[in-house]
Structures are given as C-alpha cells and as structure tokens.
Structure 1
Amino acid sequence: TSVHWHGLFQKGTNWADGAGGVNQCPISPASPENTENAFEYRFTPAGHAGTFWYHS
C-alpha cells in the first residue's frame, strides 16, 4: 500500500506521494514482531492553507 496526499505539496519528498509502484515502492505491512517493514512519513506542511486529505 501507499499514502497519497491531496492539497499538500511534497517539496523534496515527492517520492513519498502517490500510487505504489508509480512514485514510490509499495509499503509492506508492519507488525509488532516485524518492525523492519515500518515506514514513517515526515514532512512539514508549512505555509499551506485550505482543505487537505489523504488516502491509501
């Protein structure tokens, strides 16, 4: 799976926005026993106004 953001510019992190296999590799599910597959999105949405939403 992956997460796609609407209304937020991914300046410098555009590789982490979009459909799995297009902009980024799909993210495998993580579990408490297997944290190697964990993925954390980190970006600063400073200066954005309006409505934002995201989906996987």
Structure 2
Amino acid sequence: MHFDGDEVRLTDDSEPYDVELAGTASELMLFLWGRIPVGRLQVNGDADALDRYGVLVPTV
C-alpha cells in the first residue's frame, strides 16, 4: 500500500510502498474488516501507516 494524500493505493513492484502486509487470504480480509489486530500479520515497512489506513478506509 502507498498513502498519497487522502488516497490509499495498492502498488506493484516498480514503485515504493509505505507498508506491506503478509498473511493468509483469510487473515488479510479479517484485518481489513477490523476483525483481527495487525499483530497477527507479517508487517514490512512503516507499521504506523496502518493507523492512517484505518482513518482513510474505516470499516462499515
């Protein structure tokens, strides 16, 4: 993911990222829906950026 102003964008390998998450598909979806904490995933990059993700993309 890359945070660009008020936008959250997925990146490919050709551009730098702010943070990258790794886990099973189920774990990633549960995190995105706010059901599990980030500590259950592998985090590479700026983990503090995930706080901003929660503000820009709130769960419903």
Same fold, TM exceeding 0.5?
A: no
Structure (1 or 2) with the greater strand fraction: 2
TM-score, normalised relative to structure 1:
0.22
TM-score, normalised relative to structure 2:
0.21
